[in-house]
Structure 1
Amino acid sequence: MLFNSYEFLLLFLPITLILYFYLNSIKMVTLSKLMLVIASLFFYSWWNSIYLLLILGSMIFNFIIGRSLGKTASKALLIFGIIGNVALLGYFKYTDFFIENFNWVLSKDVDLLHLALPLAISYFTFQQIAFLVDNYRGEVKEFSFLNYSLFITFFPQLLMGPIVHHKEMMPQFALKWRSILRWENISLGLFIFAIGLAKKTLIGDPLTDYAQYAFDNAQKLTMIEAWYASTSYVLSYYFDLSGYADMAIGIAKMFNIDLPKNFNSPYKARNFADYWRRWHMTLSRFLGDYIYKSLGGNKNIVWIIYLNIMITFFVSGFWHGAGWTFVVWGLLNGIFVVMAHMMKKANLEMNFYVAWFLMFIGLIITRTLFVAKDFSDAWYVTKTMFNPMNLKFEGLVYIDPILQSLYLAIALILALGFKNSAQIAENFKPNIKYTLYTIVLLATSLFTFSSAKEFLYFQF
């Protein structure tokens, strides 16, 4: 079920809210949590009910391992639990990738399995690995399967994050005041949701439509078309993913639950290290806490620190997709982050605008590896962007210059010149002005639902 759908916005969300707070109002707190878990599993299984057994099995496995780790901090048990999670993710996400490379290296012809990637498996796997490690460290204080189920399945953040810790979300459900309907949180949550919905449907989707169409014909693009396509994709990715995060945070707020911020104006960063502190912040936090710090973090000699950064970004690239383009994308980001750290260590500082420009160009170039079908297309687009021999102003087939320029201008102005959603929400007041803002954003977004598109990160 998509957030940007009539059935979600007009049926599922209001019914779930009403039932949750009604059950809490008559002191049936346990039943309200159970209802929320069932509703979340229904939400998850809307696409394909067969994967319901998968997520339930994964939850039972991790809860048993986690509870055991809470009683005895066994490193062997922790490793077993992590391997189990990675194996499940690896089977569905990477089996065909390994078969393809096996066939290529040994000139074999093993058939691919063509496994469908279960929805949200990358996210709930990481969240459960974090749960196991937190248990091993003694940071989880209670063990209720109902609460654990709610922690994993809570539908606002189930599909694409933010990735949360048990200790930062579940204590909120235990607070009595959070079980009571609070209209100020309903109005604030709806306002944040409306911002995210508008970002996704009114800006992200049109930019994605053009970028995907252009990259489907990557080898035919001119210099201008290559720039428009690559820049459109960079901006669409931000508005799509941050739009989802806003919607998730807004919905959770309606339930009186605070989810962590996931984006902090990443395109205002001046280098890649700063960018990754602002982009998909809970994923960066996970990789930092459980990969980078596990390797020793910044407590080693300089070249080991840089190696740890590269390993962390290798994992990030491989997590994003089962393909060498994603791995190279991760490594390139790692190189740029290392360069930022080297410049800081050497006390070298660029002009702010020059630094920002180089960072943004780097984003555009590296992001082509995300959208391109293969290295050939990615290389062609990158090369064409800097090929003045392919500069044409007439006969542009894969671009409407006026319309696309308008979308790009609006997206850049919003991403660079305005406050982000979290900053805007800080000034929210449940008054007529913000009510009108909410109504306008929701109403305009509703007109796009007939052609609603999935979120880009669903494929990861």
Structure 2
Amino acid sequence: MLFNSFSFLFFYLPVVLSGYFLLGRLGRPLLPATWLAAASLFFYGYWDARYLPLLLASITVNYLGGRLIGACSGQARKRALVAALAANLCLLAYYKYANFFVDSVNMLAAAAGAGRLQPLDIILPIGISFFTFTQIAFLVDCYRGEVREYRFIHYVLFVSYFPHLIAGPVLHHREMMPQFADAANTRPHAGNFAIGLSIFVVGLAKKVLIADNLSPLAIPVFAAGAEPTLIEAWIGVLAYTFQLYFDFSGYSDMAIGLSRLFGVKLPLNFNSPYKAVNIAEFWRRWHMTLSRFLRDYLYIALGGSRRGQALRYRNLMLTMLLGGLWHGAGWTFVIWGGLHGVYLVVQQAWRRRFGPASSRWWPPLLTFFAVLLAWIFFRAPDVHTAWDITGALFGANGVSLPRGLETVAAPLAQWGWQPAFDGIRWIELAGPGLPVLLLAMLLVFKAPNTQEIFLHYEPCIEQIFHDGKGSRWAWHWRPTRRWSLGFAALFVACIFGMNRVTEFLYFQF
């Protein structure tokens, strides 16, 4: 069941909301929390009921592990933490990385002429990375003595909460547990409905009207063996760069909007990352809760910047390499994480040597170009295809035009230009793709983001940060008739665009 599906919008969500607030009228806060937890587990089981017992077992074991860690002291406390962390990492390693290990061994075996291992018959449980990382953070905070809420039903809801379960954000118990226990959230509030539905519609429009229309431009370029030429490569890479942006930003908005319907605020997870002026700021704006997790529970645990520059650079590289592996079990993801590690090291070294860049235009442009190059490895099916597309951006595969542009041959001939139209013949240039790509670029770099539009109504847990331009926009969201009609029209446009339901790109992680 997808957020952008009719079954979710017109059956699941109304039923869950109705049951939640009807139970809230009984004055017993645990009843609506139990209902919401059960509905979240149903949401997960709807994808594949075979892995619902796995999720429940993970929740139960980690809850008991957290209680045990909290009850122990000294070395026993540390041993309990290590055992609980090992159980989570082994689970993640088996389901997500076992076949990657087998494939890597087979690659080395083929080079040495040795025998091959048989791949394991494993289907990756959806959302396993998110609910595992959420619980790892819980266990570490139990060890640090920072956990105060131990109600089992609230813990089940904390882990399985359906707005975040499949693709984030990575939640923190300290932020969520008090909200689940707040009886005021079990009563319907017109303001929460107005804000939540409006933010949800913005996210739905990003997904249905923008991201899904960019997909046909990217798919053929990233196909194995496609060998795109220069213009095709740029079209495909830019299309994917903005498809991923609006796909993930759209999901994040929908998650925030859905949660607000229940009176619960989620942490901000996306804040105009392509406006970043350096790569460190990019990671403070892109998948913000994952960046927070990697910083607090990996980078700082490795020593952070406390032991000199050399170890700081090592810690940055290790953090980003592991962050790359978190996104996917493949060498393309390792390279993607490694590239961002190199970017961070170079940026820190530059800043240490020359100070912050003073120019106003080239740092964000250079940052965007570096991110764009790294996305090629993130999206490509294998390393060879990624290198081929990277070379194509610089003309390595020639500069012929896609066949979809043959209609401009005559005007070009009048100017004495006669380029070859022998590029990827199935690239979708006749549809809405190119106009949507131009619109996407305009929105990303010139328009306010969702949090800036809803700034006066605190859509998320934390105070947002922006470049100071958000307050200059005269049109902030207000609960007025004009805004209501505008969002109603946008929702209708989304409904008509939902004839081809597609999964969110981050579901595979």
Of the candidates 273, 278, 295, which is equivalent to residue 266 of structure 1? 273
User: Could you tell me how far 1:434 is from its partner in structure 2?
Assistant: 1.9
3-state DSSP class of the match of 1:390?
A: coil
What amino acid is the match of 1:84?
A: A
CA–CA separation in structure 2 for the residues paired with 1:405 and 1:227: 12
Instruction: Please name the residue that 1:123 is paired with.
Output: 130
Instruction: Please name the residue that 2:503 is paired with.
Output: 454
CA–CA separation in structure 1 for the residues paired with 2:397 and 2:12: 54
Q: Which has the larger radius of gyration?
A: 2
Judge conservation of contact 1:102–1:108 (CA < 8 Å) in 2: no
3-state DSSP class of the match of 1:263?
A: coil
RMSD value over aligned CA atoms? Answer: 1.4
Judge conservation of contact 2:134–2:172 (CA < 8 Å) in 1: yes
User: Could you tell me how far 1:108 is from its partner in structure 2?
Assistant: 2.4
Instruction: Please name the residue that 1:351 is paired with.
Output: 359
Judge conservation of contact 2:100–2:329 (CA < 8 Å) in 1: yes
Output aligned runs, 1:242-261, within 5 Å: 242-261=249-268
Instruction: Please name the residue that 1:105 is paired with.
Output: 108
Q: What number of residue pairs does the alignment pair up?
A: 460
Output aligned runs, 1:43-442, within 5 Å: 43-73=43-73, 74-106=77-109, 107-216=114-223, 218-346=225-353, 347-349=355-357, 351-387=359-395, 390-393=398-401, 394-396=421-423, 397-401=425-429, 403-426=432-455, 427-442=476-491
Pick which of 402-411 and 109-118 moved more.
402-411
CA–CA separation in structure 2 for the residues paired with 1:228 and 1:322: 27
Judge conservation of contact 2:339–2:374 (CA < 8 Å) in 1: yes
CA–CA separation in structure 1 for the residues paired with 2:284 and 2:367: 14
Distance 1:350 1:377, change over 3 A: farther
What amino acid is the match of 1:131?
A: F
1:17 aligns with 2:24: no
CA–CA separation in structure 1 for the residues paired with 2:324 and 2:304: 19
User: Could you tell me how far 1:400 is from its partner in structure 2?
Assistant: 4.3
CA–CA separation in structure 1 for the residues paired with 2:226 and 2:427: 14
Structure with the higher helix share, 1 or 2: 1
Query: What are the superposed Cα offsets for residues 293-340 of structure 1, whole Å, 9 maximum, x if unpaired?
Result: 101112120111111111100110111111111001101001101111
Judge conservation of contact 2:32–2:186 (CA < 8 Å) in 1: no
CA–CA separation in structure 1 for the residues paired with 2:343 and 2:255: 30
Judge conservation of contact 2:325–2:333 (CA < 8 Å) in 1: yes
Judge conservation of contact 2:199–2:253 (CA < 8 Å) in 1: yes
What amino acid is the match of 1:373?
A: P
CA–CA separation in structure 2 for the residues paired with 1:2 and 1:359: 33
CA–CA separation in structure 2 for the residues paired with 1:189 and 1:323: 37
Give the TM-score normalised by the residue count of structure 2: 0.88
3-state DSSP class of the match of 1:429?
A: coil
3-state DSSP class of the match of 1:213?
A: coil
Stretches of structure 2 that go unaligned for 5 or more consecutive residues are 402-420, 456-475
Pick which of 248-257 and 26-35 moved more.
26-35
User: Could you tell me how far 1:218 is from its partner in structure 2?
Assistant: 4.9
CA–CA separation in structure 2 for the residues paired with 1:202 and 1:279: 21
3-state DSSP class of the match of 2:3?
A: coil
- What's the % identity of the aligned pairs? 41
3-state DSSP class of the match of 1:46?
A: helix
